[in-house]
Amino acid sequence: MAEVISMRHGSSAGQPITRRDGPLKVTGAARYAADNHPPGLLHAVLATSAIGRGRVTSLDEAAARAHPGVVAVMTPANRPALAMDPDDKSVPFSFRMDLLQDQRVRYAGQPVAVVIAETLEAATEGAALLAPRYEAEPAEVSLDEGEAFVPPIVGAGAPAELRHGDAEAGLAAAANRIEATYETPTQFHNAMEPHGVVAAWDGDALSLDMPTQGFALTVMCLAALFGIPAEGIHIRSPFLGGGFGSKLLTGPQVLGILAARLVGRPVKLVLRRGQMYGPVTHRAPTRQVLRLGAAPDGGLTALHHHVRTATSRFDDFIEPSGGVSHTLYAAPAIRTTHEAVRLDTGTPGFMRAPGEASGSIALESAMDEMALACSMDPLAFRLRNYAEVEPVSGKPFSSKALRECYAQGAARFGWAGRPLAPRTMRDAQGMLVGWGVGTATFPAHLFQAAARAAIRRDGSGLVEAGAHDMGQGAWTAFTQIAAESLGLDVERVEFRSGTSDLPDAGIAGGSAHTATLGGAIRDAGLKAVARLAELATEDPRSPLFGAGNVGVVARDGRLLRRDDEGRGESFAEILARAGLAEVEAKGSAAPDPAAAEAYASHAHGAVFAEVKVDPELGQVRATRIVGAFAAGRIINPRLVRSQYDGGMIWGVSCALHERAAIDRRSGRVMNADLAEYHLPVNADVPSLEAILVEERDPHVNALGIKGVGEIAITGTAGAVANAVWHATGVRARRFPIAVEDLL
């Protein structure tokens, strides 16, 4: 398969270089999946269910087929056979899919047919002409409905209940107690790029342009579904217009691949914006009960975090919101519990900081309420309960610069002047002003990845890995890591990525892509340099002869004697004398169980928010956000700042803007578009500042990276809600906070 991307850039690791794919994006030269138009391409459009539960009883296929340009209508009756039941979950990390296996409707927005036509317009019209009829049953879509059950696991595998100490005894003994219930809404994925695929079959070989956050996972899933060899599946995914977890799993794009199978021509299927509110996972709603006890001096005696959430009627993904309470505050007794109800919705899934984002809203609000009960400043209260070791495990942190985050964030924000009492600050226009703080946290994960590095005859470097750039600047950061490990300037390194036939770079998820693939790249780079060193140190003609591999250092394209850096030779000279076109090495990264056993590793941060509230109208504006984050080593401060900005904006969105409104009568999402599903725009976030707090972590992984993708969404919504309380004296516990909650 053709090389999709290769870049050369200047400067090295730690430097704030600009993303070199930036010009491609702003000039429109960057090619996203849906930009591909192979010869003979047909267009597929989904017809989706308008009811929340029941059966499709008829489709007007004749009308659709009769429309000019329509080539085929795919329904459960003629959908090509699959080698695996889409409801089978034996493929690791897979969810049950709706691939026209029968007439049953499990949620509103579920695909019920696919129309394939010569043009997008004809396919769209054909899909409208299908005019499905249904046998509808009442759909349950609210957390109030259904029988709750305790799931065996939550999130990607955590226990549903965790007990550390005796929370009930701690609560009973407390001088101050609070109990409060917080609600967070269903959120749908709204990446700029909706899910799509361009699929072409050649016998049993399958060529795909499809955004994915994990090539190997996707290939494994498709090989099993279609019963075809994995080696025959080639995916290109050079650019993603955002993933946020929704493109980790293979979902409705499979219908595009099936459509291509049915008609024997390449097919493009792209979900319309409204179709993103159904089959591509979402963040589940939660109702969280926080019970806190504290001694007279403000020290927590107990913390119980109970989560009620929802999953679909047919599959399990349980939002693990209680997890934040395991690590953040030093309560001697901690208990987290989760329960779920089954609703007639699509299955929820991974959405940026799944669990931590929703959980920290509740925890940070409750901490604020307890600070008030203890008559303490909210920041002082958090410092009083600072966890020196991970509370539930007792493990030391591999590093933790949260104290510095609090200090630097507070100084920059000007927290010191904050009056304790609410509703005491006004601006010149008479708006109520409030300040709030929230703590951010996200675990430092490491998954598995492989990479290949080569040093070429001209002295340049090449690094290859099937990685994903979702817009976070991954390629730029990986090239910087490659350059550092190869001892080359970034200008001299080529990074090839974006296709499934390259070494398995693992997933771009869990905020672990840079740490994981970066570790593999570093390993490959260092090994390639070691091979080069071997060539030199064993050759009597080299000035490095006899130095031994560990006695040399690679810098600026040269190998130098460690004990005498005046003696050395260039990579090109070594390869030329050896008569080799290149030396290459494969590298890998994987979790180190011993490190995980010895240390708890989390990124941390402190977010400070200012809001202004109109005293008559209750309208809230987040006027100023300052976040200070410590996440281990920073490869590129410019890119990291951008991740933090994006996370904090989503946090503001969680606090004030974003929620899916689901009609309890029909089960349908009533605001399935970007006009009615509110997301913050520039005017909603006038001042945003991210502080990168220095943190060195010698234990977390080879590069000392903790990951920056997800942390900044945590803490922020709580900080905004706490600022709203401080402005108004009204404690809003339902998110997003609405005008009617404050009047």
* Residues noted as catalytic: 710
Could you tell me the smallest distance in angstroms from the CB atom of residue 716 to ligand MOS? Answer: 16
What minimum distance in Å lies between the beta carbon of 154 and ligand MOS? 14
Hey, CA dihedral for 273, 277, 279, 280, is it positive or negative?
A: positive
- Residue 509 touches ligand MOS, criterion: CB under 6 A: yes
Count of helix runs (H) and strand runs (E) in the chain? 16, 32
By CB under 6 A, how many residues form the interface with ligand MOS? 11
Q: Does 188 bind ligand MOS (CB under 6 A)?
A: no
**352 touching ligand MOS, by CB under 6 A:** yes
The reply to whether 245 sits near ligand MOS by the rule CB under 6 A is yes
CB of 604 to ligand MOS, least distance (A): 18
What span, in angstroms and rounded, lies between the C-alpha atoms of 702 and 84?
40
Cα dist. 197→128, 260, 366, 542, 658 in Å?
A: 21, 11, 44, 53, 28
What does R_g of the chain's alpha carbons equal in angstroms? 27
**Secondary structure (DSSP) of 331-350:** -SSEEEEEEEEEESSPPP--
Helices 637-656 & 716-728 angle (0-180, nearest 10): 50
- Compute the CA torsion angle 250, 251, 256, 257 (nearest 10 deg): 40
Residue from 196, 510, 568, 707 binding ligand MOS (CB under 6 A): 510
Binding mask 261-290 for ligand MOS (x = CB under 6 A): ------------------------------
List 244, 329, 442, 447, residue binding ligand MOS (CB under 6 A): 244
Quick one: which segment of 349-357, 519-527, 601-609, 630-638 binds ligand MOS (CB under 6 A)?
349-357
Q: Which of positions 213-232 make contact with ligand MOS (CB under 6 A)? A: 213
Measured from the CB of residue 646, what is the shortest distance to ligand MOS in angstroms? 12
Q: Is 350 in the site for ligand MOS (CB under 6 A)?
A: yes
Task: Name the one range near ligand MOS by CB under 6 A: 189-197, 239-247, 451-459, 732-740.
Answer: 239-247
Smaller CB distance to ligand MOS: residue 248 or 263?
A: 248
Which 3 state secondary structure label does DSSP give 45? strand
Residue 354 near ligand MOS by CB under 6 A: yes
Site string for ligand MOS, 26-65 (x = CB under 6 A): ----------------------------------------
Phi, psi of 537 (to 5 degrees): -70, -15
Both tokens of residue 552? 């040399």
Which of 463, 124, 174 is CA-nearest to residue 304?
A: 174
DSSP letter, residue 329? B
**Closer to ligand MOS by Cβ: residue 111 or 243:** 243
DSSP bridge pairs for 397:
600
Q: How far is the CB of 357 from ligand MOS (least distance, A)?
A: 9
Q: Is 346 in the site for ligand MOS (CB under 6 A)?
A: no
**Closest separation between CB of residue 352 and ligand MOS, Å?**
5
Give me the least distance between CB of 470 and ligand MOS, in Å please: 8
CB of 393 to ligand MOS, least distance (A): 22
Min CB(516)–ligand MOS separation in Å: 12
Cβ neighbours, 10 Å, residue 271 = 26
Q: Is 335 in the site for ligand MOS (CB under 6 A)?
A: no
CA 677 to chain centre: 20
Using the rule CB under 6 A, give the single segment among 190-198, 243-251, 490-498, 613-621 that binds ligand MOS: 243-251
Stretch that binds ligand MOS, among 326-334, 346-354, 556-564, 721-729 (CB under 6 A): 346-354
Segment near ligand MOS (CB under 6 A), from 244-252, 602-610, 640-648, 661-669?
Answer: 244-252
- The whole-angstrom separation of Cα 560 and Cα 533 is 9
CA dihedral 121, 123, 125, 127 (to 10 degrees): -150
Which of 34, 271, 351, 437 binds ligand MOS (CB under 6 A)? It is 351
**DSSP assigned state of 189:** -
The residue within the footprint of ligand MOS, chosen from 54, 109, 243, 632 (CB under 6 A), is 243
Cβ-contact 578, 542 below 8 angstroms: no
Residue 555 bridge partners (DSSP)? 558
- Give the span between the Cα atoms of 431 and 727, in whole angstroms: 9
The tokens describing 398, both together, are 């591999």
484 or 504, CB closer to ligand MOS?
504
Q: Tell me the closest approach of the beta carbon of residue 247 to ligand MOS, in angstroms.
A: 8
The verdict on 651 binding ligand MOS (CB under 6 A) reads: no
3-state SS, 580-645, equals CCEEEEEEEECCCHHHHHHCECEEEEEEEEEEEECCCCCCEEEEEEEEEEECECCCCHHHHHHHHH
Report the residue number, 347 or 485, with the smaller CB distance to ligand MOS: 347
User: How many CA atoms lie less than 13 Å away from 624 in the CB half-sphere?
Assistant: 14
- Site membership for ligand MOS, residue 409 (CB under 6 A): no
Site membership for ligand MOS, residue 155 (CB under 6 A):
no
Which residue is at the shortest CB distance from ligand MOS?
245
Per-residue tokens: 736: 């997003």
Of 111 and 715, nearer to ligand MOS (C-beta) is 715
* Shortest CB 519 distance to ligand MOS, Å: 17
Question: Between 267 and 717, whose beta carbon lies closer to ligand MOS?
Answer: 717
- 79 or 282: CB nearest ligand MOS: 282
d(CA 506, CA 448): 6
The H or E element spanning position 202 is strand 196-202
Binding site for ligand MOS (CB under 6 A): 213, 243-245, 248, 350-352, 354, 509-510
